[in-house]
Structure 1
Amino acid sequence: MRAVLVEPNPLIADALGRQLGMGKIRYDRQDWAGLEELLRDQGADGLGYDAIVLGSVDDPARCVAALRAHQVGAAILCLLDRRCVATTVELLHAGADDVLVKPVVSAEVRARIEVARRRSRGLLSNAVRVGQLTVFLDGRDPEVAGERLRLSQREHAILGVLAAHHRRVVSKEHIYDEVYGLSGADPLDKVIDVYICKLRKKIAEATGGARYIETVYGRGYKFEAPPEHEEAVPAAATATAARRFPAIPFAASGLHPGCLVAAE
């Protein structure tokens, strides 16, 4: 996980940096002007950060609003010197994902960032069900048809990254960053391949030979259920849902078009 820390006070920045490091979050230090310059030069997609941690900046709500105006999708975590309900509400309305009061603890910072990222991916819980597999993102081993699938710590971490990006291609570099907290250097290039191979073998043994992890050559890996394990919704269940939740004409719904969000 990568973050950018915006904190002008060097002593506070060092203390916050230690907490981020203890939470296995790689971070860069930037002042607000430097972050704005990065946004102008590289755009939101070019930043490459999972989270932005805003400390004692001038007018933090304006900073948050500016980040969202630039289409920054990273989790924004704001840190306050003391509890203030009005400021917290203002920051959340501006687009912040969460607000904490300093001093902060590494485990809580990482957990809150992970929750924000999970929401941004459309994951509403710590469990991701894919075919016969249920992958837990809170440290528990996955289950296959209710039976525990025992994995090593690294195997579990890698499967968690893939499950969080279900049906999307995940690069090796991203997996390195999430699991090891460092960039994909050449000497480690085969490490992920080895763990992927072990995961495939264990999942295949537990699911009767099914292949859940595909290699997308030149890009990375994709985790999804094979066609024979995809669960189809029974026609009767669909009909029942239609009776319970009949379609409502949009004009009669009372909703503004801006309230609709398309699921990815």
Structure 2
Amino acid sequence: MFIVIDDRETVTRGYAAGFDREGVVSIGFSSKDFREWLQSAVGNDVLAIGAFILGDCSDRTSIPKSIRNKSHAPIIALNNLKQLRDTIELFEAGVDDVVHVPIHVREILVRTAVIRRRTVGQSADTPTSLIRVFLDGRDPEIGGSTLALPRRELRILEHLVAHQGKWLTKTQLFNAIYGLFDASFDENVIEGHVSKLRKKLRNHLGYDPIESKRYMGYRLDDLRKRSNGEFDPSRHN
């Protein structure tokens, strides 16, 4: 889920439409509404956020610090003018990247993926990883071959890989995939998506890399250990 912060409603609506075409959930806030929401946001809400897109608002150099008090998700600032002073000011404020508009949302996804791999140890480029995700819309590589996945199954896999080894509840996955404010679906829909994803991964890997436990949710195994020969497939068949 991406959050776009801009005091111009036409801009937040435009980016929301662009992210939707790429199969990514987003929500737009004015700077005032965003600050109010951030103050009340809890852990599950913050965990669902893939990146913050910081647009035109009067107090935007102070917003990154407020975000960092609650989240380590990438912050990408949008700049209308190529002025060195503004760019330096934004980096000093704590953003991870500055891009000049207009920019396609697909490029934002790519830049976000690069930042996440660099800052949170994303293992997509690790040659021993059995599952490689790219976070930019491309299908993942499973056991060395590309696996085409529906968008929501892909987003679930990306979220599990990004938090590999950690338990994610059904609510946390739902918030990340459907957004924090979507009341048109029940969170139990996640169970169906995960079930289909596990079956596909099992067919490609010979075992199910996703653990599930009642009340705790889902967790992706340590894939690097398995790829180094520490895994016995017969124990998981």
TM score, norm. by length of structure 1: 0.66
Task: State whether residues 211 and 225 of structure 1, in contact with CA within 8 Å, keep that contact through their aligned partners in structure 2.
Answer: no
Task: State whether residues 172 and 184 of structure 1, in contact with CA within 8 Å, keep that contact through their aligned partners in structure 2.
Answer: no
Q: Does 1:3 align with 2:3?
A: yes
Question: How many angstroms apart in 2 are the aligned matches of 1:82 and 1:213?
Answer: 46
How has the CA–CA distance of structure 1 residues 87 and 127 changed in structure 2, closer, same or farther, with 3 Å as cutoff? same
Out of 212, 216, 229, the residue aligned to residue 215 of structure 1 is 212
| 1:30-69 to 2 correspondences below 5 Å | 30-32=30-32, 34-39=33-38, 41-42=39-40, 45=43, 48=46, 49-58=49-58, 60-68=60-68
How has the CA–CA distance of structure 1 residues 119 and 178 changed in structure 2, closer, same or farther, with 3 Å as cutoff? farther
Instruction: Tell me the equivalent position of 1:259.
Output: none
Q: Does 1:134 align with 2:131?
A: yes
How has the CA–CA distance of structure 1 residues 184 and 54 changed in structure 2, closer, same or farther, with 3 Å as cutoff? closer
Question: How many angstroms apart in 2 are the aligned matches of 1:228 and 1:51?
Answer: 29
Superposition RMSD in Å:
3.5
Q: Post-superposition shift, 1:215?
A: 0.8
TM score, norm. by length of structure 2: 0.72
Task: State whether residues 139 and 147 of structure 2, in contact with CA within 8 Å, keep that contact through their aligned partners in structure 1.
Answer: no
Three-state SS of the structure 1 residue aligned to 2:27 is strand
Letter in 2 for 1:85: L
Tell which structure's C-alpha radius of gyration is larger: 1
Structure 2 unmatched ranges of 5 or more? 231-237
Question: How many angstroms apart in 1 are the aligned matches of 2:116 and 2:225?
Answer: 30
Question: How many angstroms apart in 2 are the aligned matches of 1:187 and 1:62?
Answer: 35
Q: Does 1:14 align with 2:13?
A: no
Out of 157, 161, 164, the residue aligned to residue 163 of structure 1 is 161
Task: State whether residues 139 and 148 of structure 2, in contact with CA within 8 Å, keep that contact through their aligned partners in structure 1.
Answer: no
Three-state SS of the structure 2 residue aligned to 1:231 is helix
Task: State whether residues 55 and 80 of structure 1, in contact with CA within 8 Å, keep that contact through their aligned partners in structure 2.
Answer: yes
Instruction: Tell me the equivalent position of 2:170.
Output: 172
Task: State whether residues 19 and 105 of structure 2, in contact with CA within 8 Å, keep that contact through their aligned partners in structure 1.
Answer: yes
Instruction: Tell me the equivalent position of 2:99.
Output: 100
Counting matched residue pairs gives 222
Q: Post-superposition shift, 1:98?
A: 1.4
Question: How many angstroms apart in 2 are the aligned matches of 1:46 and 1:204?
Answer: 28
Task: State whether residues 44 and 172 of structure 2, in contact with CA within 8 Å, keep that contact through their aligned partners in structure 1.
Answer: no
Q: Post-superposition shift, 1:177?
A: 3.9
Letter in 2 for 1:135: R
Q: Structure 1, residues 146-167: CA drift from partner, whole Å, max 9, x if none? A: 3455545543333222122211
Letter in 2 for 1:136: V
How has the CA–CA distance of structure 1 residues 92 and 211 changed in structure 2, closer, same or farther, with 3 Å as cutoff? same
Question: How many angstroms apart in 2 are the aligned matches of 1:59 and 1:229?
Answer: 48
Letter in 1 for 2:189: V
Q: Structure 1, residues 188-237: CA drift from partner, whole Å, max 9, x if none? A: 444332232233333333334x231111322321011489826379xxxx
Task: State whether residues 131 and 140 of structure 2, in contact with CA within 8 Å, keep that contact through their aligned partners in structure 1.
Answer: no
Task: State whether residues 128 and 164 of structure 1, in contact with CA within 8 Å, keep that contact through their aligned partners in structure 2.
Answer: no
Question: How many angstroms apart in 2 are the aligned matches of 1:163 and 1:227?
Answer: 12
Task: State whether residues 141 and 149 of structure 1, in contact with CA within 8 Å, keep that contact through their aligned partners in structure 2.
Answer: yes
